[in-house]
Amino acid sequence: MAIILRLDRMMADRKMSLNELSDKVGISNVNLSNLKTGKVKAIRFSTLEAICDVLDCQPGDILEYERDEK
């Protein structure tokens, strides 16, 4: 099972840079970059809520579940 992060797609749709989103959400560029590239194992609901608020989206627009092939 895999959770895929689509933050890069939402940022592109909103024409928002990593620096701009980082400033508005209040987390570091490094942490946001790790989130964007899928190098994280967890995300706080408060961070997800802040990202959704800034990008005007739903968590399902950012997170996607992909079933493992068996």
CA distances from 34 to 48, 68, 70 (A): 14, 23, 29
DSSP letter assigned to residue 41: S
Structure tokens at 21: 């989103």
Structure tokens at 20: 């701009």
| H or E segment and range at residue 23 | helix 18-25
pLDDT of residue 12: 96
Contact 21, 54 (CB under 8 A): yes
pLDDT of residue 69: 79
pLDDT of residue 31: 93
Mean pLDDT by 10 residues, the chain (70 residues): 88 96 95 91 94 97 88
